[in-house]
């Protein structure tokens, strides 16, 4: 069973992965279509500040980011 803090860490780690995907110096040989898709997702992605607010409002679902 996933606990709230694990769920929050996973969301933030996914955001870090998306950032890496759009940077060709970090991830080489990634097709342009994948980079563009990652960038589109990041435009609306929740960051630590959003996760903190969500954790305060729904602590049973989200943990505070560390």
Summarised one tens digit per residue, pLDDT across range 33-52 is: 999 999 999 999 999 999 99
- Domain presence at residue 13: yes
Task: Name the token pair of 57.
Answer: 């409002």
Does residue 37 lie within any of the structural domains? yes
Say if 43 falls within a structural domain: yes
The answer on pLDDT for 66 being more than 90 is no
Half-sphere exposure at residue 39, Cβ-oriented, CA atoms within 13 angstroms = 10
Q: Which of 60, 54, 28, 32 is nearest to 11 (CA)?
A: 54
Span 4-30, pLDDT tens digits: 999 999 999 999 999 999 999 999 999
DSSP state for residue 43 in the 8-state scheme: T
SS3 30: coil
Residue 1: the pLDDT is 83
> Is residue 44 situated within a structural domain?
yes
Q: Which domain holds residue 18?
A: 4-57
Question: Does any domain span residue 48?
Answer: yes
Whether 66 maps to a domain, the answer reads no
Report DSSP state, residue 65: P
Q: Is residue 24 part of a domain?
A: yes
Tally of domains in the chain: 1
């Amino acid at each position: 069973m996933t606990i709230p803090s694990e769920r929050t860490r996973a969301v933030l780690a996914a955001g870090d992965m998306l950032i890496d995907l759009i940077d060709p110096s970090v991830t080489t040989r990634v097709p342009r279509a994948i980079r563009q898709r990652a960038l589109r997702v990041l435009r609306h992605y929740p960051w630590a500040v959003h996760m903190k607010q969500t954790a305060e409002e729904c602590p049973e679902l989200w943990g505070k980011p560390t």
